Amino acid sequence: MTSVSLNNISGKDKSSKVADAIREMALTKGPGWKLPTVVEMCRSLNVAFGTLDVALDTLALQGVIERKRGSGIYVSASIHQKTIGVVFGGDIFSPGFSPFWSLLLQAVRQQVSERKMRLRAYFDILEEHEGLGGHTQLVEDLEARRLEGLLLLSPHFEYDEAKQLRSTGVPLVVFSDSDTGWAVTHDHDQFIRLAALELATVGVRRMGLLGPPNYRSTLENEFCQTGYGDIRVEDWSYETWAWIIPGAGTYENCAYRLTQRMIADAASTPLPNALISMEDTSTRGVVMALREAGLYPGRDIRIITSANKGSPVLEPYAADLTRIEFDTADSVRTALDMLKTLMDGGTPPHNPVLIGPKVVATVTHP
């Protein structure tokens, strides 16, 4: 084993240097090769047992080596597997998060296993931080070089987690439509086009849009281009109404309270003929408020909604909704393909990559 000069390096850096030297040797020798004894490695690397032990612990966590009691230290059979981290900017299991994020995590787990990759997941449970302060274990793993790639899902934009993670130099792919780096996102323009086609043929003249306000003009333009003329699109967006409705809270609660408000004002301002919702939990909030008032989608108002394949959010109301569905497995597959290309030193051919939806259920009445 090649001797490495480590005399003028601090303890933490020294163990990292030792780990690098052993990792390089393990990669050269390949899976199953037996490493020299601890005494031999301490002598050849000119380090103390404590320094070597820290390095070996790190390499074991990274899946580079296996320490077998009574037998020795071996190069792991999974040494060539990549270890990736999946980072969430919040506690996706809390009530405020859509089940969509849990579906993404499930798809990542399945596809990482299929690709023979190792997975580490990181959740900002406390959400009382700035930057990466809520990701203590993530920071530690990045500093110890335990991760070879990162997927950032449900990013915390306020603290620009993507920018900070990119600064580590570890290949990063973000699921977002606003990130400036390598990104995968839903094709919202395609959703709007499909929704417009669904409504144009039934003569809807006035509708509400539960989605970012900038998509109102996109929707109006789609109707003009299809030849069905002008249409009035009302702003039902969370971005607008969360500041107006007291205690708006989540997307679902805001949509629920907004719908109650619109129903109460229906004598002076009738409800629109249709609603287009770009977020499934918002749709659920609308449907709940309609049903409480004795109104039903598909009979009293037509609803075109975004949906996520496999999500239970809209199952009880599926027969009354026109659903335009995104497949989370496609999103994850695309993100992992992009990340693998980056980890292998390549350049993905497209960025951002847009995941298109398809209409899976159509309601043609009233």
Nearest to 186 by CA among 84, 341, 332: 332
Structure tokens at 63: 């899946």
CA atoms within 13 A on the CB side of 337: 13
Q: What is the pLDDT of residue 2?
A: 45
Residue with token string 């990274």: 62
Q: What is the pLDDT of residue 124?
A: 80
Inter-axis angle of helices 49-61 and 38-45, nearest 10: 110
How many helices (H) and strands (E) the chain has is answered by 12, 14
Q: Kind and range of the H or E element at 307?
A: strand 302-308
Q: What is the pLDDT of residue 82?
A: 84
The C-alpha torsion from 68 through 72 and 78 to 84, rounded to 10°, is 80
Q: What is the pLDDT of residue 137?
A: 86
Query: CB-based contacts of 316: which residues, under 8 Å, 6+ apart?
Result: none
Most distant CA pair in the chain, distance = 87
Q: How far apart are CA 175 and CA 92, in angstroms?
A: 14
Q: Which domains does the chain have, with CATH numbers?
A: 11-75 (1.10.10.10), 83-181 (3.40.50.2300), 188-328+357-361 (3.40.50.2300)
Inter-axis angle of helices 215-226 and 188-200, nearest 10: 50
Q: What is the pLDDT of residue 365?
A: 52
Q: What is the pLDDT of residue 80?
A: 75
Q: How far apart are CA 89 and CA 98, in angstroms?
A: 13
The answer to whether 162 touches 155, Cβ cutoff 8 Å, is yes
**Averaged pLDDT in 10-residue chunks for the chain of 366 residues:** 44 78 86 90 90 89 85 84 87 81 91 85 72 80 88 80 90 87 94 88 80 88 70 90 92 95 92 93 96 92 93 91 94 94 93 93 61
Q: Kind and range of the H or E element at 232?
A: strand 232-235
Q: What is the pLDDT of residue 98?
A: 84
Q: How far apart are CA 76 and CA 322, in angstroms?
A: 51
Q: How far apart are CA 148 and CA 120, in angstroms?
A: 11
Instruction: Kindly report the number of other CB atoms within 10 A of residue 257's CB atom.
Output: 20
Q: What is the pLDDT of residue 182?
A: 95
How is residue 270 annotated by DSSP?
A: P
Q: Which amino acid is located at 70 in the chain?
A: G
